[in-house]
DNA sequence: GTGAAAGCGCTAACAT
DNA sequence: ATGTTAGCGCTTTCAC
């Protein structure tokens, strides 16, 4: 067996160009290069050109870790969300808002896992990210106290952080449920069912509670009509549908507590869906593809996102101000599924 | 108006604890703290305890930028994808594979924008991420040549990188289309339509070409049956559906080129969908919710992801080895929509 | 087994 | 307007 010569394969690390290299190549001082890189205007035009030529020739790109170490800011804000790679209109808008503010967003998944969340946030803290946007999971975030006291800028979205005082921006879940409920009541419905997220989840808890409050206040029945199931549990949704819409006194209307549940409920209702008024919580691409098209309570991702970024920048400027909690209005989008009237 | 005293609001930056602080608090040398933090065993048990106590007392978390500057590795790999906040089974699996390999994944969106992609990848390069997983957009990635030559470890997923030599892991689009086509031919279909992604996109181009090749080889007609539309363009899909399934010689079967198109096509086919055999490219959560449930050509995200991470770590170990391109098999999942037979 | 000192790549005081 | 120097927080020789 003949051993090939490994020519053309420079094994040793290729020693990226550094600012000193650029300075040497351009025949100027290190500081001058730094000034050019940072757009400082007090450099003679000729030197600027020489430096830029050297930068181009060496393909120099400033090392951000050195920069960050010296300047103390990262230019990055982290987004710790339940899952990147999952539809998340808020995250999409956060990216836009942040880009508009000249910040880079780097996202990591917490996978609905408390330990992983902790690891992810801590990792962002150790990297000294300028801020963190967190979709919190789990009940107690007391573990964050030292970091928040140490100057970590953090804002919670979708749910508040408990056990510690931090900024949060939330949707108005209660009003959302109220809107849906009133809409159905006005169409003549008496037996209105609710199927939504597990009540261990903050939004699930809040929406289910709001529903119960509405029903009680309006003198509507509750028994057998409220079902909270863990996210994505198809069998549980099916069972809930059967309970609510079977039996002697079937419901005539349905409020679903999140996008997933809406889709699953519609799937299990099948053809019956046409004989039931349905209002779903959360808008989604699928909502418009369902038959009938889904009437929804829509959150306002753009406002949520811009508020979150605003809270974050405000806190970065003033790390120890009092925590603020902002509630963003929701709206109802009428598409057909929720407008079935019932005779008396 | 009385001005409140701002007591309890320490305005000045809270000077996070540093290793020197820990060392001082524990009454040991800086190096010893470093050793403890990094799990070096050659430290006396008593000192280890003192150091750990100090670390806990000061809530010390090592600053990764200092660490990275000194060690030269980041412990992070970047994922530059079309959109975080959009379903992306591969990204999900990449996160798992990477976590298993002890690497943190930070994801950023390129938004299908060539300039943004460039900015994102460059930013990761400046931060000296250990590697980058890229879902490339645009035709020419020549701009990456200096970075790749400089030791950037990068692997492309879903589509290859053109204009420069880099690792890539792809799905077997050609075989996928062939499977779908054969499946429909065997069910007796002669007029098979194809609606898929724009041919400016690599996968769109590859799948459409494969379809044409299949049809030609099988002596099936093509005229009016192949439609490529830009992603998410509902009107274009509607028009394509009308062309393919209206007129004097309507098609009896359909292959869709991606998940979006599948959903839109089914929406526009409406009730007609039951009289047409449909095989979609790409599996998705929605595929199982559609009526009828969608028979699909499914990619293998887990294998794609683990292959990508393996290629990346291999390249990190050996930055200048020859580029490899891996093709991952696809499979057909039969669910009902594609099994309608046609008499002769 | 432990600590002092050098230095990673950069920016910011401080000269000049 | 430009260069010299110190130092950000850490790891790693290198002495002891």
Is residue A319 within 8 angstroms of chain B, CB to CB?
yes
Nearest chain A alpha carbon to B10: A320
Q: Categorize the per-residue pLDDT at B232 as very low, low, confident or very high, splitting at 50, 70 and 90.
A: confident
Which of B232, B229, B258, B230 lies closest to B241, judged by CA?
B229
Phi then psi for A220, rounded to 5 degrees?
Answer: -95, 155
Q: Contact at 8 Å (CB) between A164 and A145?
A: yes
Q: Rounded CA gap, B194 and B207, in Å?
A: 9
Output Rg (C-alpha) for chain B, integer angstroms: 27
Tell me how crowded residue B314 is: count the other CB atoms within 10 A of its CB: 14
Alpha-helical segments (H) within B187-292 = 202-217, 234-245, 259-269
- Inter-helix orientation angle A45-58/A30-37, to 10°: 90
Q: Is the CB of A248 under 7 A from strand D?
A: no
Which pLDDT score is estimated for A211? Answer: 98
- Contact assignment for A64 to B127 by CB distance below 8 Å: yes
- Contact assignment for A128 to B63 by CB distance below 8 Å: yes
Q: Rounded CA gap, A339 and A252, in Å?
A: 12
Beta strand A331-333 pairing with A295-298: antiparallel
pTM: 0.92
Q: Which residues contact A66 (CB under 8 A, 6 or more apart)?
A: B69
**A89-115 core/surface letters (b: 16 or more CB in 10 A; e: else):** bbbbbbbbbbbeeebbbbbbbbbeebe
Alpha-helical segments (H) within chain A = 19-26, 30-37, 45-58, 64-71, 89-100, 114-126, 145-149, 173-186, 202-217, 234-245, 259-269, 301-317
Stated as kind and residue range, the H or E segment containing A168 is strand A167-171
Cα dihedral: B327, B331, B337, B343 (round 10): 100
- Contact assignment for B126 to A62 by CB distance below 8 Å: yes
Is residue A242 within 8 angstroms of chain B, CB to CB?
no
The percentage of chain A sitting over the pLDDT mark of 90, rounded to a whole number, equals: 84
Nearest chain B alpha carbon to A127: B64
Which nucleotide shows the minimum CA-to-C1' distance to residue B20? D9
Q: Between residues B28 and A102, which one has the greater pLDDT?
A: B28
Which of B105, B109, B93 lies closest to B129, judged by CA?
B105
Which of B161, B166, B99, B162 lies closest to B135, judged by CA?
B161
From chain A, the residues in CB contact with B289 under 8 A are 263-264, 267, 286
Q: Which of residues 269-308 of B touch A (CB under 8 A)?
A: 286, 289
Which of A16, A302, A11 lies closest to B125, judged by CA?
A16
What's the token pair of residue A173?
Answer: 């879940």
From chain B, the residues in CB contact with A147 under 8 A are 59, 61
Residue B3 pLDDT greater than 80, yes or no: no
Query: How far, in Å, is the CA of B130 from the C1' of nucleotide D14?
Result: 29
Which of A198, A145, A135 lies closest to A168, judged by CA?
A135
Which pLDDT score is estimated for B196? Answer: 97
How would you list the strands of the sheet with B104-109, edge to edge? A325-328, A167-171, A154-157, A131-134, A76-81, A104-109, B104-109, B76-81, B131-134, B154-157, B167-171, B325-328
Q: Which residues contact B224 (CB under 8 A, 6 or more apart)?
A: B243, B244, B247
Q: Is the CB of B63 under 7 A from strand D?
A: yes
Q: What rounded mean pLDDT belongs to chain B? A: 92
- Inter-helix orientation angle A301-317/A89-100, to 10°: 50
Q: Categorize the per-residue pLDDT at A11 as very low, low, confident or very high, splitting at 50, 70 and 90.
A: very low
Tell me how crowded residue B291 is: count the other CB atoms within 10 A of its CB: 15
Which pLDDT score is estimated for A44? Answer: 95
- Say which range, A282-296, B192-206, B211-225, has the weakest mean pLDDT: A282-296
Q: What is the per-residue pLDDT across B233-270, written as a single tens digit (0 to 9) for each? A: 999 999 999 999 998 999 999 999 999 999 999 988 98
Instruction: Give the mean model confidence (pLDDT) for residues A82-87.
Output: 91
What's the token pair of residue B185?
Answer: 């031919």
Which of A112, A134, A268, A272 lies closest to A198, judged by CA?
A112
Is residue B86 within 8 angstroms of chain A, CB to CB?
yes
Q: Categorize the per-residue pLDDT at A13 as very low, low, confident or very high, splitting at 50, 70 and 90.
A: low
- Contact assignment for B149 to A14 by CB distance below 8 Å: yes
Residues 31-60 of A with CB under 7 A from strand D: 31-32, 35, 42-44, 46-47
With H, G, I as helix, E, B as strand and everything else as coil, classify residue A194: strand
Q: Rounded CA gap, B110 and B129, in Å?
A: 17
Phi then psi for A280, rounded to 5 degrees?
Answer: -105, 150
From chain A, the residues in CB contact with B122 under 8 A are 61
- Residue appearing with tokens 């992609």: B117
Burial of residue A173 (CB within 10 Å: 0-12, 13-18, 19+) is buried
Q: Rounded CA gap, B284 and B17, in Å?
A: 47
Which pLDDT score is estimated for B242? Answer: 96
Which of B161, B174, B171, B154 lies closest to B90, judged by CA?
B171
Q: Is the CB of B101 under 7 A from strand D?
A: no
Q: What are the CA-CA distances from residue A168 to residues A86, A113, A132, A315 (Å)?
A: 22, 20, 12, 12
From chain B, the residues in CB contact with A321 under 8 A are 9
- Inter-helix orientation angle A173-186/A202-217, to 10°: 40
- Residue appearing with tokens 């050109």: A49
Q: Rounded CA gap, B291 and B270, in Å?
A: 10
Residues in chain A: 344
Q: What is the per-residue pLDDT across B56-102, written as a single tens digit (0 to 9) for each? A: 999 999 999 999 999 999 999 999 999 999 999 999 999 999 998 88
Residue B320 pLDDT greater than 50, yes or no: yes
Q: Rounded CA gap, A175 and A78, in Å?
A: 30
Q: Rounded CA gap, A48 and B150, in Å?
A: 24
Q: What rounded mean pLDDT belongs to chain A? A: 92
- Contact assignment for A65 to B65 by CB distance below 8 Å: yes
Residues in chain B: 344
From chain A, the residues in CB contact with B38 under 8 A are none
Task: Determine which of B10, B64, B280 to mutate to test the interface with A (most A C-beta atoms within 10 Å).
Answer: B64
Q: Contact at 8 Å (CB) between A295 and A333?
A: yes
Query: How far, in Å, is the CA of A47 from the C1' of nucleotide D6?
Result: 25
Whether a cis peptide bond, with omega within 30° of 0, leads into B292 is yes
Instruction: Give the mean model confidence (pLDDT) for residues A328-341.
Output: 96
| Bridge partner residues of B226 (DSSP) | B194
Q: Between residues A188 and A342, which one has the greater pLDDT?
A: A188
DSSP class per residue in B97-144: HHHHTT-EEEEEE-TT-HHHHHHHHHHHHHTT-SEEEE---SS--GGG
Tell me how crowded residue A318 is: count the other CB atoms within 10 A of its CB: 12
Which pLDDT score is estimated for A262? Answer: 94
Which pLDDT score is estimated for B14? Answer: 64
From chain B, the residues in CB contact with A74 under 8 A are 65
Which pLDDT score is estimated for B8? Answer: 37
Q: Contact at 8 Å (CB) between B341 and B183?
A: no
Residue A1 pLDDT greater than 50, yes or no: no
Which nucleotide shows the minimum CA-to-C1' distance to residue B22? D9
Q: What is the per-residue pLDDT across A156-180, written as a single tens digit (0 to 9) for each? A: 999 999 999 999 999 999 999 999 9
Instruction: Give the mean model confidence (pLDDT) for residues B339-344.
Output: 82
Q: How far apart are the first and last CA of chain A?
A: 91
Q: Categorize the per-residue pLDDT at B13 as very low, low, confident or very high, splitting at 50, 70 and 90.
A: low
């Amino acid at each position: 067996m003949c051993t090939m010569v490994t020519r053309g394969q420079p094994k040793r690390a290729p020693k990226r160009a550094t600012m000193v290299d650029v300075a040497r190549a351009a025949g100027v001082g290190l500081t001058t290069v730094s000034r050019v890189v940072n757009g400082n205007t007090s450099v003679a035009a000729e030197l600027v050109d020489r430096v830029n030529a050297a930068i181009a020739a060496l393909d120099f790109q400033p090392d951000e870790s050195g920069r960050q170490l010296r300047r103390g800011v990262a230019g990055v804000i982290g987004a710790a969300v339940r899952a990147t790679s999952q539809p998340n209109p808020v995250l999409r808008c956060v990216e836009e808002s942040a880009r508009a503010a000249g910040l880079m967003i780097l996202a990591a998944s917490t996978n609905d896992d408390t330990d992983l969340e902790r690891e992810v946030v801590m990792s962002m803290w150790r990297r000294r990210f300028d801020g963190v946007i967190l979709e919190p999971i789990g009940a107690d975030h007391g573990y964050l106290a030292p970091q928040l006291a140490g100057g970590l800028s953090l804002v919670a979205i979708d749910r508040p952080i408990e056990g510690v005082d931090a900024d949060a921006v939330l949707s108005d879940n209660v009003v959302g449920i109220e809107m849906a409920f009133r809409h159905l009541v006005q169409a003549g419905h008496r037996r209105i069912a609710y199927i939504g997220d597990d009540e261990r989840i903050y939004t699930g808890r809040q929406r289910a509670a709001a529903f119960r409050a509405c029903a009680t206040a309006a003198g509507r029945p509750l028994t057998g009509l409220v079902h909270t199931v863990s996210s994505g549990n198809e069998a549980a949704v099916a069972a809930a549908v059967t309970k609510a819409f079977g039996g002697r006194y079937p419901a005539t209307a349905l409020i679903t507590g999140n996008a997933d549940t809406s889709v699953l409920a519609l799937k299990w209702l099948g053809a019956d869906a046409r004989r039931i008024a349905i209002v779903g919580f959360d808008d989604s691409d699928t909502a418009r593809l369902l038959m009938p098209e889904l009437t929804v309570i829509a959150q306002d991702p753009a406002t949520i996102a811009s508020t979150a970024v605003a809270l974050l920048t405000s806190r970065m400027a003033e790390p120890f101000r009092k925590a603020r909690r902002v509630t963003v209005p929701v709206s109802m989008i009428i598409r057909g599924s929720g407008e079935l009237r019932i005779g008396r």
